[in-house]
């Protein structure tokens, strides 16, 4: 099992599913105090090479409910992480993402994040973008990533050159 450095501790990595922080691992203080750091869990979903996902140009819509989501198993405080390859090809405009609480049927306030922007209409851009959001769940909850753009050809790319992922970490 590979171990990854996390805020002075080690994170045990494994297959998709729940994994625990290695003994003695610490999480930076972000406003929550973990009950027992040895029992923190996380889940990671990789997108695999699913191709381009263009954002809707009129309203926020779910990006892809198979790969761009967080299935939170129970009540608690979580950190939601996103790592995606943003793409903007040959257009001027921008793309944004936000979180949608599918369980509650509503967008999550103050979760909007600019993903990519260009004033040039001739550039073809691909770049790695990350986001993280604190979230408090009152029970089992499914959160979807939503996207919106000002022009066509703006969205997320996932191919053999790089996959995307959505990860949650339960912190208390």
Predicted TM-score (pTM) above 0.85: no
> What CA–CA distance (Å, rounded) separates 98 from 147?
7
pLDDT tens for the 172 residues of the chain, in order: 343 434 444 343 433 343 444 444 444 444 444 445 555 677 888 877 788 889 999 899 999 999 999 999 999 999 999 999 999 999 999 999 999 999 999 999 999 999 999 998 888 989 999 999 999 999 999 999 999 999 999 999 988 888 899 999 998 8
Contacts of 133 (CB under 8 A, 6+ apart): 79, 80, 99, 108, 111
Task: For the chain, give the number of residues.
Answer: 172
**Are the C-beta atoms of residues 45 and 158 closer than 8 Å to each other?**
no
| Four-residue CA torsion sign, 100, 104, 106, 108 | negative
Contacts of 39 (CB under 8 A, 6+ apart): 20
Q: How far is CA 154 from the centre of its chain?
A: 18
For the chain, domains (ranges, CATH) are: 3-170 (2.60.120.40)
Nearest to 47 by CA among 133, 170, 160: 160
The Cβ of residue 81 has, within 10 Å, a number of other Cβ atoms equal to 17
Q: How far is CA 62 from the centre of its chain?
A: 13
Nearest to 89 by CA among 114, 57, 52, 121: 121
């Amino acid at each position: 099992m590979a171990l990854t450095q996390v805020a002075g501790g080690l994170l045990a990595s494994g297959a998709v599913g729940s994994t625990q922080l290695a003994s003695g691992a610490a999480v930076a203080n972000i406003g929550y105090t973990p009950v027992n750091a040895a029992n923190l869990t996380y889940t990671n979903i990789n997108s695999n090479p699913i191709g381009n996902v263009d954002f809707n140009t009129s309203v926020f819509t779910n990006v892809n409910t198979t790969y761009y989501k967080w299935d939170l198993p129970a009540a608690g405080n979580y950190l939601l992480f996103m790592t995606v390859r943003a793409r903007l090809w040959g257009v001027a405009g921008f793309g944004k993402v936000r979180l949608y609480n599918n369980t509650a049927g509503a967008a999550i306030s103050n979760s909007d994040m600019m993903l990519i922007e260009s004033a040039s209409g001739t550039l073809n851009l691909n770049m790695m973008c990350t986001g993280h959001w604190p979230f408090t769940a009152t029970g089992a909850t499914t959160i979807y990533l939503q996207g919106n753009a000002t022009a066509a050809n703006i969205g997320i790319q996932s191919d053999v050159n790089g996959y995307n992922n959505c990860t949650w970490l339960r912190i208390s």
